[in-house]
Amino acid sequence: MKKIFVTAVFALGSLTAFAQEEATSTVEENASEAIEAQQDGFAEVSAEELPEAVTAAVAKNYPTASIDKAYVNEDKQYKLEVSLEDGTSGTLYADENGNWIEM
């Protein structure tokens, strides 16, 4: 009977250890996603939040491009991850007036 009790205690202890490890890894993953979103001083924004001048500049200079992700920094500079119909992709930088920036 004592062996059964000891085995039960070890089994419960093992399950608790796995639950704590999973919770810790989830917190670490969420923190790394937040850091990634703020990378290089740019914070992710939706494409709908882009100024009209920026979307117009992309449409004019890259008519086959689609904006996959967009980011903005404190200086109102935009980092755009775009992909073309031919499968190529790249990163463009523009100011709030739609002027291209070299970074």
Give the global pTM.
0.62
Percent of the chain whose pLDDT exceeds 90: 59
The closest of 79, 87, 81, 85 to 95, measured between CA atoms, is: 79
pLDDT of res. 103: 80
**Strand stretches in 1-103, DSSP E:** 43-45, 66-72, 77-83, 89-95
| Sequence-separated (6 or more) residues with CB below 8 Å from residue 46 | 70
Q: How far apart, in whole angstroms, are the C-alpha atoms of residue 78 and residue 93?
A: 6
Instruction: Report pLDDT digits (tens) over 21-61.
Output: 554 555 555 544 544 455 679 999 999 999 999 999 999 99
